[in-house]
């Protein structure tokens, strides 16, 4: 036995199906330096999705600090006789910002660095172009991670308990909040609002009543101990300013409403004065319970939509 030796991986492959191993040598171990990268990319391109030899494959890792590339490693497979590390391309990216000019320069650097195989599986020209496209895709994904995440994206990623809590500040129905949270992720705000609408009108009466019960009575001065009550206070600001002239009538109206229908008077109060809300209340007292339940659900829907839009725009 002649002993043990270590060689760099870059020196191991010497040609097609050829290595630096002597006839009496075996590979005993592969030593990899411990490193931490916050972003990675792995992609293969072949004639089909599985059980096919790759035409081109690219693997890359990177660290980004303050929008600049601070560390990057790029490796290609199936473009040469052995895996190929793109050292020159890496060097061209160090310190670069992630913008369209950087993407173009990186693609040009990679295409200038590699000399792909031209064989039965693919042409050299194809491999060169696809390898550059894969690198650009990786860099574009890196750039996307540096963009500020929208509130919707942040909410999509929250633990369920926190996500439900955000929705309960908009509507007090727990079933509505839990079901909507379970439908995540939502791609756009419009998708979320549409799902919220459909879900609300599909709920049974007990869930509507739960939402209604979370509102303070119109004209009632109540400490804003929750976000829900704080929103109600803001929405009823105009009514509070004109409350004195109809306070007694509103108290009596609320009492009559609850005795007639069995739930709180819910109305979209934003920007409306106390006399206006009293007039609406008196009109709605003429409804049947079925008519009023539906009307209250419509009003709750308007309130919920307003609060969701404000929340998403925050």
Q: What residue segments make up the domains of the chain, in order of their start?
A: 40-145, 152-313
Stated pTM of the model: 0.55
Which CATH class name applies to 40-145? Answer: alpha beta
* Spatial contact of 303 and 266, defined as CB atoms under 8 Å apart: yes
Identical fold, 40-145 and 152-313: no
Calculate the CA dihedral of residues 83, 87, 92, 95 and round it to 10 degrees: 110
* Spatial contact of 246 and 274, defined as CB atoms under 8 Å apart: yes
C-alpha distances out from residue 261 to 101, 181, 293, Å:
66, 31, 8
Which pLDDT value is given to residue 32? 87
Which pLDDT value is given to residue 34? 84
* Spatial contact of 218 and 254, defined as CB atoms under 8 Å apart: yes
Which pLDDT value is given to residue 225? 45
Query: Which CATH superfamily hosts domain 152-313?
Result: Oxo-4-hydroxy-4-carboxy-5-ureidoimidazoline decarboxylase (1.10.3330.10)
Which pLDDT value is given to residue 269? 86
- The three-state secondary structure class of 117 is coil
Mean pLDDT by 10 residues, the chain (314 residues): 85 89 91 89 89 92 92 95 94 94 96 93 94 96 84 93 96 97 95 97 97 86 51 52 73 94 93 88 96 97 96 90
Which DSSP letter does residue 9 get?
Answer: G
3 conformational bin, left if phi > 0, alpha if psi -120 to 50, beta if neither: left
Largest CA distance in the chain: 104
Which pLDDT value is given to residue 221? 58
């Amino acid at each position: 036995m002649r002993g043990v030796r270590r060689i760099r991986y870059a020196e191991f492959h010497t040609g097609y199906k050829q290595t630096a191993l002597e006839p009496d040598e075996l590979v005993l171990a592969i030593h990899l330096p411990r490193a931490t990268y916050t972003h990675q990319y792995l992609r293969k391109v072949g004639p089909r999705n599985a059980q096919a030899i790759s035409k081109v494959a690219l693997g890359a890792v990177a660290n980004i600090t303050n929008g600049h590339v601070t560390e990057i490693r790029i490796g290609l497979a199936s473009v040469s006789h052995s895996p190929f590390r793109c050292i020159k391309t890496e060097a061209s990216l160090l310190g670069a910002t992630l913008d369209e000019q950087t993407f173009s320069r990186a693609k040009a650097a990679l295409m200038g660095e590699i000399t792909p195989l031209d064989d039965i599986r693919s042409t050299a020209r194809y491999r060169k172009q696809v390898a550059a496209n894969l690198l650009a895709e990786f860099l574009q994904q890196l750039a996307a991670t540096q963009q500020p995440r929208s509130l919707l994206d942040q909410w999509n990623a929250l633990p369920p308990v926190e996500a439900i809590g955000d929705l309960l500040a908009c509507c007090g129905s727990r079933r509505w909040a839990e079901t909507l949270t379970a439908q995540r992720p939502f791609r756009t705000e419009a998708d979320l609002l549409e799902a919220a609408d459909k879900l609300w009108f599909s709920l049974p009466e007990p869930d509507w009543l739960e939402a209604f019960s979370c509102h303070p009575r119109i004209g009632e001065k109540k400490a804003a101990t929750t976000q829900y009550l704080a929103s109600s206070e803001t929405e009823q600001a105009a009514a509070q300013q004109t409350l004195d002239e109809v306070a007694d009538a509103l108290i009596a109206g609320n009492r009559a409403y609850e005795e007639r229908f069995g739930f709180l008077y819910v109305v979209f109060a934003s920007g409306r004065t106390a006399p206006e809300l009293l007039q609406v209340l008196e009109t709605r007292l003429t409804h049947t319970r079925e008519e009023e339940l539906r009307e209250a659900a419509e009003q709750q829907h308007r309130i919920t939509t307003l609060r969701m839009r404000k929340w998403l725009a925050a």
